[in-house]
Amino acid sequence: MMSNDAEMTVTDEERELLEGWTEVDGDLEGCSPDMVRAVLGSRLTFGRMDAPRSRHWQVPEGVDCFNDIAYVDDGLRAHKLDLYLPHDALLRNGRVTPVYIDIHGGGFMYGYKELNRNFCTHLAKRGFAVFSVNYRLIPSTDFMGQLSDVLIALTWIKNHLDEYPVSPDRIFLTGDSAGGTLALYTLAVESDDQFAQRLGLKPAGLRPRGAAFVSGLLDLTPYLSVDLEDFHPTGSPTDDLTRVAPSFFRSFVQAGGDQVADLRTMVDMVHLPPVFLNTSADDFLQGDALKMAEILCRKGRDFELHDLRPNRLQTLGHVYPVAMTWLEESRQALDQIHDFSYDLI
């Protein structure tokens, strides 16, 4: 996505800001020039979009933050999680507060959990305990490695739920963009042991009651048979993912992932719990949410679709409830996630 070397140059000031919520280039040593250009280009494109928004990110009053809890004791930033709790839940010290587990987006190569702190704390403000999970990024691992990280984090959460004033059986998943991909496959693994065994993955055993996908990249089929010799960039935010797709999804395909990646096949195989789908008319992944909604509808499955059309003088775009929680439309989306979830409790 970056067109010249000047755009790939990172100032010290910019690096300090971006490293608050993403890796920049510290993991790119030894990578091929094509990999560096794809990954660093993607990180800077998204980071420069998020930088002005970050000035408006804030933790609302009444939310307590427990940061950088290691779910793997290896010292990696990628293997840490945060917990956000409504302060009232701590004061009451009960075991009734429902739990959301959030998986951040970023095209599988950008972002850490801090990217979603604003979203997670606003969910917590609405009465949820929210675990926000890190995972290793491209090029440090591939899709199967990221799924494994998320499932290890979920296992840690399951084993430590009794240490917090939360409900052990009112669990929900959420993810945005590429985090929506990871949340969808995690939901399938947690909901169906045979699906998990087919991919060689071990469920945490949490059995979520539902999931909320915000601008989710839900259809992987376009990325599983990419021929880079015939690839022509379109200017889409998914171009960088397409460039790295052959190596990123290789082990997933080898595990049989290409046989279950079709959404119709997945919905046939796995009786997913109810899902909430959020998108907008100017979201470049709107089609994924609409396709998922159509499949779920035809199968008679339980879901909610919220596809907002901004007026002609406004934009919402990709993951607006995550990146811009101060918008009225974002507040409505967060309220809708609350209502969707509480209806399932």
Confidence of residue 232 (pLDDT cuts 50, 70, 90): confident
Q: Does pLDDT of 6 surpass 80?
A: no
Q: Does pLDDT of 210 surpass 90?
A: yes
Domain edges within the chain: 60-343
**Residue-level pLDDT at 7:** 80
Q: Are 218 and 180 in contact (CB under 8 A)?
A: yes
Q: Does pLDDT of 8 surpass 90?
A: no
Q: Any long-range contacts for 234-239 (C-beta under 8 Å, 24+ apart)? A: 235/1, 236/284, 237/1, 237/45, 237/46, 237/107, 237/284, 237/318, 238/107, 238/284, 239/1
**Residue-level pLDDT at 229:** 85
- Mean pLDDT calculated for residue range 328-341: 98
Q: Are 186 and 230 in contact (CB under 8 A)?
A: no
- Mean pLDDT calculated for residue range 60-72: 97
d(Cα 5, Cα 9) in Å, to the nearest integer?
6
**Residue-level pLDDT at 4:** 62
- Mean pLDDT calculated for residue range 131-138: 98
**How do the residues of the chain divide into helix, strand and coil, expressed in percent and rounded to 5?**
45, 15, 40
Q: Does pLDDT of 110 surpass 90?
A: yes
Q: Does pLDDT of 2 surpass 70?
A: no
- Mean pLDDT calculated for residue range 2-14: 79
Q: What superfamily would CATH give domain 60-343?
A: Alpha/Beta hydrolase fold, catalytic domain (3.40.50.1820)
- Mean pLDDT calculated for residue range 189-216: 97
- Mean pLDDT calculated for residue range 164-189: 98
- Mean pLDDT calculated for residue range 214-219: 98
Cα–Cα distance list, 232 to 40, 235, 298 (Å)? 19, 9, 34
- Mean pLDDT calculated for residue range 192-197: 96
- Mean pLDDT calculated for residue range 165-187: 98
Read off the tokens for 324: 């811009």
pLDDT tens digits, one per residue of 267-276: 999 999 999 9
Tell me the pairing of strands 99-103 and 129-133: parallel
Q: Does pLDDT of 53 surpass 80?
A: yes
**Residue-level pLDDT at 222:** 95
